[in-house]
């Protein structure tokens, strides 16, 4: 699901205790002391100030230089997260599914030009949709995650056919192949196609042909009835800041689009195996990492981050978020997994900034302070935040002496911004995201920045 950099769809970060697993002597020796210190200082601040719960890993030039776990895997039993804790990796699952499809294409058991109708006879417009379109989200098929009736399935007996039936009845978002729109339905169908072609359950094929080849001992498809050692539970926080268990979410709903569990170290080894040619051939890997529409490949996003090429993906399901990124020219891997429904992507961005020697603002405790509310009107207007994924527009409005951000000017939905000072405001629901204004002598806004988990992004006021 598409997400604004503000992580508007995510809950505020939760209160948690600190649980660190120390670095080995090898890790300490392989990293530059200052970089290691900066990485640890930043992550400890994320824990103590923003109450991050999860685990992170940074590897450079073939060596893991930093990995630590924070918070609780199970809050009721005070079981801390460790580096062996298994997290839901959400939509990172898609690259595993894509790799499996490419293996079958290499073996000529299917073709990327195959029509959807070959595997699902009678599927609406099935003769117009190819596997290539499913892989790079250009099919136009409605996203099951936002399909009417999706929530009803939470309490139902789920079968793959019943879920496919739910979204196949929905109109296409556009003519297949003409536009790009992220849809979990595409990868749900791909997983089912793997089963139809091989005669094996998706997870069995994945184990034999993908995860075992990569040497991943802690990576597998989750099931609603699975009993798994070291599994993290997902959490969120109520409006009043009280911890609560994440929404019940049968993993069958996301299946081959988002149901794999793993650890940071396994995901690092996965990237090494994928880039090392142990999973698919160079020709198929080139297809997988080609930026098609919206710079999306097959289960991977191809973009640049501060002029460094990056191949990555993020994900979210109730209680969990994930981010896995690789910078090929720098041989830099970054993994962030969380079980607090925080936003892993911006944390990964900050860790990359540190590795590239760029400034990162260390999170600090934010306190609301009273200001003259008549000053707020100078901040009202239309803005655009500049980020690597492209520009994002929003509007700031003043209502009853309070400042609000409207991500969609045509919607009534808005989020309150509370003052930390006359020129700096934080999101009431997500304290580690702030907007900082710079004003001239006439109190006119001349510049502003979005500060998201320590990352600074330029904001332009639109005339």
Q: Which domains are assigned to the chain?
A: 1-362 (3.40.710.10), 373-462 (2.40.128)
Q: Which of 154-163, 274-283, 390-399, 453-462 has the lowest mean pLDDT?
A: 154-163
Over residues 293-302, the pLDDT tens digits come to: 999 999 999 9
> Are 300 and 145 spatial neighbours (Cβ–Cβ below 8 Å)?
no
* 189 confidence band (pLDDT: 50, 70, 90): very high
Mean confidence (pLDDT) of the chain: 88
401: pLDDT strictly greater than 60: yes
CA distances to 232, 315, 359, 435 from 457, rounded to whole Å, are 32, 21, 12, 10
Q: Residue 254's pLDDT band (boundaries 50, 70, 90)?
A: very high
Half-sphere exposure of 266 (CA within 13 A, CB side): 25
Whether residue 276 is predicted with pLDDT greater than 60 in this model: the reply is yes
Least confident interval from 153-157, 203-207, 210-214: 153-157
pLDDT of residue 252: 85
Contacts of 397 (CB under 8 A, 6+ apart): 380, 403, 404, 406, 414
The model's pTM: 0.86
3: helix, coil or strand? coil
Interval 31-65: pLDDT, tens = 466 999 999 999 999 999 888 999 999 999 999 99
User: Which helix (H) or strand (E) segment is 257 a member of?
Assistant: helix 255-258
User: Rounded CA gap, 48 and 51, in Å?
Assistant: 5
Phi/psi class of residue 63: alpha, beta or left (left: φ > 0; alpha: ψ in -120 to 50)?
Answer: beta
Buried-exposed string 255-266: b where 16+ CB fall within 10 A, e elsewhere: bbbbbbbbbbbb
């Amino acid at each position: 699901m598409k997400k604004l950099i503000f992580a508007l769809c995510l809950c505020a970060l939760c209160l948690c205790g600190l649980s660190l697993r120390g670095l080995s002597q090898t890790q300490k020796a392989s990293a530059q002391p200052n970089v290691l210190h900066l990485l640890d200082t930043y992550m400890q601040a994320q824990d103590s100030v923003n109450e991050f719960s999860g685990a992170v890993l940074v590897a450079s030039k073939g060596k893991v230089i930093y990995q630590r776990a924070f918070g609780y895997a199970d809050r009721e039993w005070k079981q801390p997260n460790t580096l062996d804790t298994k997290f839901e990796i959400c939509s990172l699952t898609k690259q595993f599914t894509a790799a499996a499809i490419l293996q079958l294409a290499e073996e000529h058991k299917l073709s990327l030009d195959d029509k959807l109708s070959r595997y699902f006879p009678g599927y609406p417009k099935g003769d117009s949709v190819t596997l290539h379109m499913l892989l790079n989200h250009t099919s136009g098929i409605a996203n099951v995650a936002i399909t009417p009736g999706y929530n009803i399935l939470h309490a139902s007996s789920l079968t793959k056919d019943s879920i496919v039936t739910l979204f196949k009845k929905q109109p296409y978002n556009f003519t297949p192949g003409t536009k790009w729109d992220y849809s979990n339905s595409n990868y749900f169908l791909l997983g089912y196609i793997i089963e139809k072609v091989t005669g094996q359950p998706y997870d069995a094929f994945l184990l034999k042909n993908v995860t075992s080849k990569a040497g991943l001992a802690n990576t597998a498809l989750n099931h609603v009835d699975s009993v798994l050692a070291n599994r993290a539970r997902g959490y969120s926080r109520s409006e009043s800041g009280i911890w609560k268990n994440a929404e019940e979410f049968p993993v069958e709903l996301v299946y081959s689009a988002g149901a794999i569990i793993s650890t940071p170290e396994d995901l690092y080894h996965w990237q090494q195996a994928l880039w090392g040619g142990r999973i698919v051939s160079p020709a198929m890997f080139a297809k997988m990492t080609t930026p098609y529409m919206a710079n999306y490949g097959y289960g991977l996003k191809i973009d640049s981050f501060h002029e460094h090429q990056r191949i990555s993906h993020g994900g979210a399901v109730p209680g969990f978020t994930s981010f896995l990124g690789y910078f090929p020219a720098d041989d830099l891997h970054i993994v962030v997994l969380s079980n607090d429904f925080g936003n892993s992507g911006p944390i990964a961005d900050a860790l990359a900034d540190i590795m590239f020697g760029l400034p990162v603002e260390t999170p600090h405790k934010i306190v609301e302070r009273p200001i003259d509310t008549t000053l707020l009107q100078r901040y009202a207007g239309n803005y655009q935040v500049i980020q690597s994924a492209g520009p994002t527009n929003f509007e700031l409005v003043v209502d009853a002496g309070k400042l609000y951000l409207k991500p969609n000017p045509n919607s009534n939905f808005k989020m309150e911004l509370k003052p930390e000072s006359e020129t700096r405001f934080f999101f009431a629901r997500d304290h580690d995201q702030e907007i900082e204004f710079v004003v001239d002598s006439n109190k006119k806004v001349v510049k502003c920045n979005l500060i998201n988990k320590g990352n600074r992004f330029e904001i332009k006021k639109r005339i």
